[in-house]
Chains A and B, each alone.
Chain A
Amino acid sequence: MGLVPGRTRRLESVVSICILAILFLIGLGVFLKQSDYDMSRFGIDTAGIELSSQQSGLIREKKPDLVSLGPAGFKTLSEAEIYNPENLYEKINGKAPLYLESGFVELFTQRFVNSNDDNLWMELFVYDMATIRNAFSVYSVQKRADVELLPSMQFAYKTSNGLYFVHGKYYIELVGSSESAELLGVMGQVADKISSTLPADKETKIDELALFPEEDLVLGSTKLYLASAFGFEGLTDTFIARYKFGDEIITAFLSKKGSDAEAITIFGNYYKFLLDNGGKELPTTNPKIKFVDFYGTLEIVAVAGPFVFGIHEAENPQLAAKVQKRLINKLLELTETPQK
């Protein structure tokens, strides 16, 4: 015959292996695709199929170990909970976007109840915000009015039922079930324990806060808006501080940009934004400072080095100018750009 038996067997083996390899690859492809196909193409609403049993954020894993922070005379009221950006809304619902837009990483919570009084309980919320700036931002924008600042910590205050503070990259809330002096005292103990035992972050301060002049500054009034300060999208990482003169309040703002050129761009864009939204230009001879009459209030926007800064919605132009001058002088210590 024409075929040599040995060669025939080798040829068949090679062809068989090739066919099996192709079949294996097809099988693998089907398997991978099947595990990740779009069910909606078949009219199946996957989101809708998921029901409340999958909503719980309860996870037994505890990190950091909040249970160990429990004060004497209190026991855990419920299991520790942990939430990530995917399920944060399960805990705080409509307030989740505030955290998610500020660099939120994880939330750890734990409730403690007085061993002798079930009505006396509190919940500890530990938000990991990745950096102290993010933590300060969510702390400051939610800060309540007329609170008692706690000077023993950098950023901290208490109300009649809660204690709120920043510990490195963590924003921490201790919320009590009642306005109880005993509960507040215990919260202080927990806060101290957190400060001394919970590893925080390498960063422990925020440089821009030192740029606000201290004279007439309302203690604890500084806030950080990470995005869209005063409704202007370009004004990111913007700090504000309030100054009090009798009954009048002046709001100063400051934002450090990546470069002088970027600062000049933001300065110009924000000035244009004010004019586009009904502001009226007021005379000035300095190209690096603009005055705008904004529906009867004064807006001042200026640029110096990498800083965009100014005064927001001042009702008293003299006081606005006074604060602006102090702010300029403070910044002059750091930049060489002359401002008047």
Chain B
Amino acid sequence: MTEQKNCDLERREFLSRLSKAGIAVAGCGVASYLLYDPKGPTPGIEAEDLMTLPDFSVPQKDGQTISIVQGPDRVKTVDKAIELLGGIERFVKLGDIVAIKPNVAFASPPMLGATAHPQLVAEVVRLCYTAGAKHVIVTDNPINDPASCFTLSGVGKTATQAGAEVVLPKDHLFKHTTLTGGKLIKSWPIFYEPFGKADKLIGIAPLKHHHRAGASMTMKNWYGLLGGRRNVFHQDINTIIAELAMMVKPTLVILDATFVMMTNGPTGGSVSDLKRADTLIASTDCVAADSYGCSLLNLKVLDLPYLAKAEKAGAGTTSYETLKPVFATV
């Protein structure tokens, strides 16, 4: 009698536990279904997805690699500097799409010299159209709010008035790249799209003191192509600038030293930081342009280790004198 009773209890309990277990399994199933991520973690960047910037350079011409023009008027000095290198037609052909990369890193007024001067950018846009460019893009990836930078620096307005398309950075315009032989630029996002579709690339940079790098000139200007948390590169500023010079092969660079920011760079903040030098340099060799430019900051080539690094990597020469620079005054 007692054994029979125990058997009945175990059977009932078995069914009860079976039901509970079934509910538990069903609950787990529902929870798993809700939490399931069909995409999985974001995959690493595959080698085939990496992009490389085109080579925008033009064939070298002896004695027409670097020009140095003195004068107070940026429009006149840039016209002359480009003329001395063979004219804008050497750099821009009929139907070309030209990307212009001015330094528009800060939302500050043009008077402070922290950004490329709007008149200079507009004149280069005009020259490109004169040579038959199909389309001119003016773009930069400022670390500060891009719209504010282009508005307050005046570059957005003058470039648009000159007929250029101003492109602000958006997430979908970035692609990852790896610099062959690079130490820092590995699977790193760069502001690719506006440049990827261009035939020619012109860099325009003001000459500035830079608290970290010593000087900010045409090579440092390419820093604006980097996306991501690019400030990590400040720990190895000389290497990253040299790698940028290796990564970007521009058609032409323009270094504006009409006013030079001698102190408190790269932001400045006062006209007292500026010194009038009335000089503008145009070159197909970034390293050469910067090697001459640093002298206007009272620096030597050896004071800026990134120059030697870039030269060693084959990005250009620090011995700009060997390129037979052409001098002029307007």
A162→B270 contact, CB < 8 A: yes
A1-17 near B? 1/0 per residue, CB < 8 Å: 10001000000000000
Q: Which residue of A lies closest to B9 (CB)?
A: A5
In whole angstroms, what is the CA distance A206 to B216 when docked?
A: 35
Chain B residues within 8 Å of A78, by CB: 145, 148
Among B75-83, B126-134, B261-269, the stretch in contact with A: B261-269
A49-78 near B? 1/0 per residue, CB < 8 Å: 111110111100000000000000000001
- Given that A51-B171, A93-B143 are known contacts, is A44 also in contact with B211, CB under 8 Å in the complex? no
B111→A177 contact, CB < 8 A: yes
- Given that A45-B187, A78-B148 are known contacts, is A175 also in contact with B43, CB under 8 Å in the complex? no
Chain A residues within 8 Å of B108, by CB: 123, 175
Q: Which residue of B lies closest to A142 (CB)?
A: B264
> A147 at interface (Cβ–Cβ under 8 A)?
yes
In whole angstroms, what is the CA distance A121 to B144 when docked?
A: 18
Chain A residues within 8 Å of B148, by CB: 78
Chain B residues within 8 Å of A176, by CB: 109
In whole angstroms, what is the CA distance A289 to B228 when docked?
A: 52
Chain A residues within 8 Å of B273, by CB: 144
Chain A residues within 8 Å of B201, by CB: none
> B12 at interface (Cβ–Cβ under 8 A)?
no
A50→B229 contact, CB < 8 A: yes
Q: Which residue of A lies closest to B109 (CB)?
A: A177
- Given that A39-B41, A51-B189 are known contacts, is A95 also in contact with B270, CB under 8 Å in the complex? no
> B135 at interface (Cβ–Cβ under 8 A)?
no
A47→B232 contact, CB < 8 A: yes
Q: Which of B203-233 contact A (CB under 8 A)?
A: 210-213, 216, 227-229, 231-232
A144→B143 contact, CB < 8 A: no
In-complex Cβ contact of A48 among B45, B109, B146, B211 (8 A): B45
Give A107 Cβ to nearest chain B Cβ, in Å.
12
A45→B44 contact, CB < 8 A: yes
B213→A51 contact, CB < 8 A: no
Chain A residues within 8 Å of B141, by CB: 52
B96-119 near A? 1/0 per residue, CB < 8 Å: 000000000111110110000000
> A89 at interface (Cβ–Cβ under 8 A)?
yes
The size bracket of the interface on A is 35 or more
> B271 at interface (Cβ–Cβ under 8 A)?
yes
B144→A90 contact, CB < 8 A: yes
Centre residue among A48, A96, A159 by max chain B CB count within 10 A: A48
Per DSSP, chain B at the interface is loop
A182-204 near B? 1/0 per residue, CB < 8 Å: 00000000000000000000000
A162→B6 contact, CB < 8 A: no
> B174 at interface (Cβ–Cβ under 8 A)?
yes
Chain A residues within 8 Å of B4, by CB: none
Chain A residues within 8 Å of B109, by CB: 121, 176-178
Chain A residues within 8 Å of B156, by CB: none
Per DSSP, chain A at the interface is mixed
A145→B272 contact, CB < 8 A: yes
B45→A95 contact, CB < 8 A: no
A95→B266 contact, CB < 8 A: yes
A52→B174 contact, CB < 8 A: yes
Give B181 Cβ to nearest chain A Cβ, in Å.
18
> B200 at interface (Cβ–Cβ under 8 A)?
no
A95→B271 contact, CB < 8 A: no
> A161 at interface (Cβ–Cβ under 8 A)?
yes
Give A165 Cβ to nearest chain B Cβ, in Å.
13
A56→B145 contact, CB < 8 A: yes
B41→A44 contact, CB < 8 A: yes
B143→A89 contact, CB < 8 A: yes
A94→B271 contact, CB < 8 A: no
Chain B residues within 8 Å of A173, by CB: 269
- Given that A55-B143, A58-B145 are known contacts, is A48 also in contact with B228, CB under 8 Å in the complex? yes
Chain A residues within 8 Å of B250, by CB: none
In whole angstroms, what is the CA distance A93 to B266 when docked?
A: 7
In whole angstroms, what is the CA distance A48 to B105 when docked?
A: 20
In-complex Cβ contact of B234 among A39, A44, A89, A177 (8 A): A89
In whole angstroms, what is the CA distance A44 to B187 when docked?
A: 10
A96→B171 contact, CB < 8 A: no
Chain A residues within 8 Å of B45, by CB: 45, 48
Chain B residues within 8 Å of A178, by CB: 109, 111
> A151 at interface (Cβ–Cβ under 8 A)?
no
Query: Can you list 21 residue pairs at the A/B interface with Cβ under 8 Å?
Result: A48-B176, A48-B187, A48-B228, A49-B42, A50-B227, A52-B171, A52-B191, A52-B227, A55-B143, A90-B143, A93-B231, A94-B211, A94-B267, A97-B211, A121-B152, A142-B263, A144-B272, A146-B272, A162-B270, A164-B270, A175-B112
B residues adjacent to A (C-beta < 8 A): 3, 6, 9-10, 41-45, 105-109, 111-112, 141, 143-146, 148, 152, 169-171, 174, 176, 186-189, 191, 210-213, 216, 227-229, 231-232, 234, 237, 263-267, 269-273
Assuming A44-B42, A50-B229, what are 18 further A-B pairs, CB within 8 angstroms? A44-B41, A44-B43, A45-B186, A45-B187, A48-B45, A51-B171, A51-B174, A93-B143, A93-B266, A94-B213, A94-B237, A94-B266, A95-B265, A97-B211, A97-B234, A159-B270, A175-B108, A177-B152
